[in-house]
A and B are shown apart, each in its own frame.
Chain A
Amino acid sequence: MDFGILSVIIFLPMFVAFLMLILPFGAKGTRNAAFLTAVVIFMLVSVVYYNFELYGFMQFSEHYEWISTYGINYSIGIDGFSLIILMLIAILIPCAYLWLWDGRTKGYWVSMLLIQTGITGTLFSQDLILFYFFWEAMLLPVFMIIGMFGTGNRVFSTIKITVYTMMGSLFMLISILYLGVAFFENYGFWSFALSDIIQIQNLSKTEEIWLFVGFMIAFAIKIPLFPFHTWLLETYSNSPTGGVFLLSSIMAKLGVYGIVRFVMPIFPELYKEFAPYFVWIGIFGLIYFGIAALMQTNIKKMFAYSSASHLGFIVTGIFSLNAYGMTGAAFLIIAHAMATGGLFLLVGKMEYNLGTKSIPDLGGIAKKAPMFTTFFAIMVLCIVGLPGTNGFVSEFLIILGAFGFSPSAGIVSAFTVLIAASFMFWMFQKAILVDSGNDTSKMKDLNLKETMGMIPLAFLIIAMGIYPDWFFYKIEPTIQHYIVDILEIRNY
């Protein structure tokens, strides 16, 4: 794989996007090109997945000089943790494209392509400045797609999410620069490479805490962790379907990814020291957002909170400092992305067909659209964590991890996972199953493309629930490496 397969995966969508901007293709042509790109990338990613060796270090690395005066390099690579998120992205995006097939403009597709570049670039970066570069660059197409194609008070939502995430990013930038300078003072040459930055010796504890906070704010806003979630509701409910799909199923996960990739190796001591707080913040988020979701009648808002609730649980997993919790978190990232992403697509269709997303106005959809209902049910069951879905496996593992961390955390999380069940089943019954007398006759069932788009997700949700080992073995060495080498925990 020495032709730079990762670079191709990053830049192909961007290249196509610019090509489409210049060439006089309409919305349809752009869409076809975008879909083709996504499929090609899926194939490339499959090659990467197949060739990925079973050890926990960076693979497929590429390295070019960029701004050599300051030791900033274009340096990318993946390990097991990035690999599974990459695989996830590669599967989700073409599926989503099938769903967004009709009625989108050219600008929409170009934005989607650019977002894909931003996401994969963020995922591969092994240099802090490069990471920041993609992290920020990702924001722009998101800004565009919400502002141009959103609903409701979209301009306000757009400015709000931009200002919010920008604030986090800028704190992170300060931390990155500070680390770079610290490295320079320590070793006498400039470097922002992650592998160099982790060797800094000369930071005092106070400095480390501030830097840690700088990074964590950026990631906590993106995830969003309580109390940085106030952008969430408006953004999710005013975004167009494609935007909210990417935000919830992929970009939120990048916040978690950032914690694991950067915060953990750079500040291993603080990571362990502050882990109890974050475990509890995660559990608190699980409960808080769960209760908030209970009170929503707008389906999109309910899913927004349910999504935040699960992300809190993922954070609990990665801070549980043991292999169960971390593997569970990695697994939940996938499970949740598929289920929530799928649900947002399904709801988007429902909103498009019926013009409403409010639960009291719905009902009786099961009869009109059996296929729709089936997939909806699978996604709901995955979110709830029914055995047989990957949602169960991951939640079970995180609860085990939480028990390993402290029994009280384990007990609380074991009970509170059930909150999801209460609102999900209630919503599913009210909105889909029971005939409430509302006129929902305009609801159409899935067409062929939409079905094709849902099948991979549903299949994986079940397959990963039944044979989780098939999917664990690629990530296991990486988790091992995190815990033993980076966090230096021996008895996990």
Chain B
Amino acid sequence: MNVPDFIYLLPLFLVIVGALTLMIISTFKTITIKKGATVTLLFLLLAFFANMYNLNSSDNIYSVYPFVEIFNKMIIVDTFSGYFSAILILGAILTILIGLHYFEKHKGFTVEFFSIFLFSLFGMMFLVHANELISAFIALEITSISLYIMIGFEKVIDRRVEASYRYLVLGSLAGVFYLLGASFIYGSTGTTTIGIIGDMTLNTFETNYQLLIIGGTMIFITFLFKIAAFPFQNWALDVYDGAPLPVTAYMAATFKAAIFGFILRLVIVDFDLIRDFWDDVLIYIIILTLAYGSFLTIVQKSLKRMLIASSIVHTGYLLIAFTSIGMIGESAASSIIFYLVAYLLSALGAFGLIAYISSNDHLRITYDDFRGFARIRPYMAAMLSIFMLSLAGIPATIGFIGKFYIFTGAIESGNTILAIVGILATFISVYYYFKLIAIMYFYKSVEMTNVPPLKGVAPLVIAGIALMIIWGGIGNTLIAYFPGVDFLIDMAKLSYESLFIG
């Protein structure tokens, strides 16, 4: 390998340097929010390009342990982590861009926020690069603690502080499960390195399977908690609702991708043997997640809470693909990755636009506030409709393709019943997503004060996301050198393969 190890870690390094830089410069009074955001974006873009360089430099797939004499095999850099890092950095960039207006308008935010933001991103990227259970835990905690701070950053508002505490307490409890699980796994196999755990379960007869299964299940519980699946979903509604909108978007879309990135690696590489043990339980979890999530979503009046509750339903769809991993590893894993991208774009767009609309006041936005919105702000209404359609999975949006992959995978792996349940949940989702479109277009407008005009960076970026969603739904590789649906899924497949060459 002629590329120095350092290059492989450059994206991670750039993000952490960015975080420290921001922390230092935030002490200067002359640094405004806008300047802070610019510096953040600068580092994020550099990290993104460094990451793309890594992804592109090797023609096919790669998998290396950088600085193996220092880190042993704690950190892995492969196509899988590269692809996930690209998703995460993209999510972060978009969050900053669409949240800019919100951060500027709200008094509570200072430049330190961006520093913490980058720390959280560093944690997520570390998480998808982690090849060892304890380093993964550290990464998870870096992210979580940053998120606790980000949620409660506007400390003048009680709701924020409450949400922050709630998440802190519950998140720590979930973290404890993880640690206990990791120690059980260590107890039964004598290692915490991913890959070696799998070898141990295969090769030695002395492995204590009970302990391994209990340990694995505990880690799995943490995983279900973090992605807000049934029965660990209740915190999501309050915490996400209490958080500032851009942070909610960031957590719902980007953080979820990071968690899935780690757990996919763990499950695909290591837990082949004990996965069957979970599959039956998981089917019930999925059905309950979808059913309860749909129910929660229908009863919401506030748009923000509706989007949050529906993110639980989307978790359910992702888990459908998750059960298929045992049967059809490659296409299931790649469909999860694709769906994560699709959801990231749609959710960021939807949350971002609502954040932008509500950025001039602290109102909770309800469905009724959007009566006749299309007449006041036709372009914004059109964009919001596109996001809703994509979330509902209507053709011509990336959301449809994502659902197509997931349901096809479910049928292919023999879980037709899950596909049908998923379809039913989709059917219900048509109701609550279309409701917003109906309200925006079919009524006379009410006075909506303080809606910012369609100007500045944020709306432009949101429009860009809307175009990406459409392109993801209809685009193909006809136009040369421009990535379309095929590119995303092929890339996802490559990253799956890279898990096995390390």
Within 8 Å CB of B489, what residues of A? 67, 69
A181 at the interface (CB under 8 A from B): yes
Within 8 A of A (CB), among B372-419: 389, 394-396, 400-401, 404-405, 407-408, 411-412, 416, 419
A8 beta carbon closer than 8 Å to chain B = no
Cβ-neighbour of B395 out of A70, A136, A162 (below 8 A): A136
Tell me, yes or no, whether A144 is within 8 Å of chain B by CB: yes
Q: Is A143 an interface residue (CB 8 A)?
A: yes
A379 to B368, CA, bound (A): 45
Query: Inside 8 A of A143's CB, which chain B residues have their CB?
Result: 434, 437
Contact B411 A181 (CB under 8 A): yes
The answer to whether A140 touches B431 (Cβ under 8 A) is no
Q: Mark B407-448, 1 if CB is under 8 A from A, else 0.
A: 110011000100110011011001100110110011100000
Q: How many Å lie between the Cα of A155 and that of B490 in the bound state?
A: 42
Cβ contacts under 8 Å, A159 to chain B: 431, 434-435, 438
Compute how far the CA of A174 lies from the CA of B412 in the bound complex, rounded to whole angstroms.
12
B478 at the A/B interface (Cβ < 8 Å)? yes
- Out of A66, A132, A163, name the residue touching B476 (CB < 8 Å): A66
Q: Which of A171-205 contact B (CB under 8 A)?
A: 171, 173-174, 177-178, 180-181, 184-185
Tell me the nearest residue of chain B to A65, going by C-beta.
B476
Tell me the nearest residue of chain B to A147, going by C-beta: B442
Cβ B442 vs Cβ A177 within 8 A: no
Q: Does A64 contact B (CB under 8 A)?
A: yes
Complex: A451 Cα to B441 Cα, angstroms: 34
Q: Are B477 and A68 in contact (CB under 8 A)?
A: yes
Alpha-carbon separation in the docked complex, A163 to B396 (Å): 19
Describe B's contact surface by its main secondary structure. Answer: helix
Q: Does A98 contact B (CB under 8 A)?
A: no
Asked whether B407 lies within 8 Å of A177 as measured between CB atoms, the reply is yes
Contacts of B424 in A (CB 8 A): 170
Chain B residues whose CB sits within 8 angstroms of the CB of A140 once the complex forms: 389, 394
B400 contacts across to A, CB distance below 8 A: 133, 136
- Per-residue CB contact flags for chain B residues 466-495 toward chain A (1 = under 8 Å, else 0) read 000000000011100000011001100100
The tally of residues in B whose CB lies under 8 Å from a CB in A reads: 36
- The one of A133, A148, A173 in contact with B396, judged by C-beta atoms closer than 8 angstroms, is A133
Per a CB cutoff under 8 Å, which of A67, A134, A162 touches B486? A67
Instruction: Answer whether residue A302 sits at the interface, using C-beta atoms and an 8 A cutoff.
Output: no
Q: A65-B477, A133-B396, A137-B396 are in contact. Are A177 and B408 (CB under 8 A)?
A: yes
Q: Count A-B contacts at CB 8 Å.
A: 87
Question: In the complex, A67→B435 CA distance in Å?
Answer: 31
Asked if A166 contacts B476 (CB within 8 A), the reply is no
Contact B427 A166 (CB under 8 A): yes
In the complex, whether A154 has a CB less than 8 A from a CB of chain B is: yes
Set of chain A residues within 8 Å of B420, measured between Cβ atoms = 174
How far apart are the CA atoms of A178 and B438 in the complex, in Å?
A: 32
Contact A181 B408 (CB under 8 A): yes
Q: Check B431–A67 contact: CB distance below 8 A.
A: no
State whether A136 touches B394 (Cβ < 8 A).
yes
Nearest CB in chain A: distance from B381 CB, A: 11
B389 touches A181 (CB 8 A): no
Q: A154 to chain B: which residues have CB within 8 Å?
A: 442
- B395: A residues at CB distance < 8 A: 132-134, 136-137
Q: In the bound complex, do residue A69 and residue B408 qualify as a contact, i.e. CB atoms below 8 Å apart?
A: no
Give the one of B426, B435, B478, B486 with max A CB within 10 A: B486
Which residues of chain B are within 8 angstroms of A144 by Cβ–Cβ distance?
441
Q: How far is the CA of A181 from the CA of B476 in the complex (A)?
A: 22
- A-contacting residues of B (Cβ < 8 Å)? 389, 394-396, 400-401, 404-405, 407-408, 411-412, 416, 419-420, 423-424, 426-427, 430-431, 434-435, 437-438, 441-443, 476-478, 485-486, 489-490, 493
Query: What 8 A-B pairs come out closest when comparing CB atoms?
Result: A133-B395, A147-B442, A136-B395, A181-B411, A181-B412, A170-B423, A66-B476, A177-B408
25 residue pairs bridging A and B, Cβ less than 8 Å apart? A65-B477, A67-B486, A67-B489, A68-B477, A68-B486, A69-B486, A69-B490, A70-B404, A70-B405, A74-B476, A133-B395, A133-B400, A136-B395, A136-B400, A137-B395, A143-B434, A147-B441, A154-B442, A163-B427, A167-B427, A174-B411, A174-B419, A181-B408, A184-B412, A185-B412
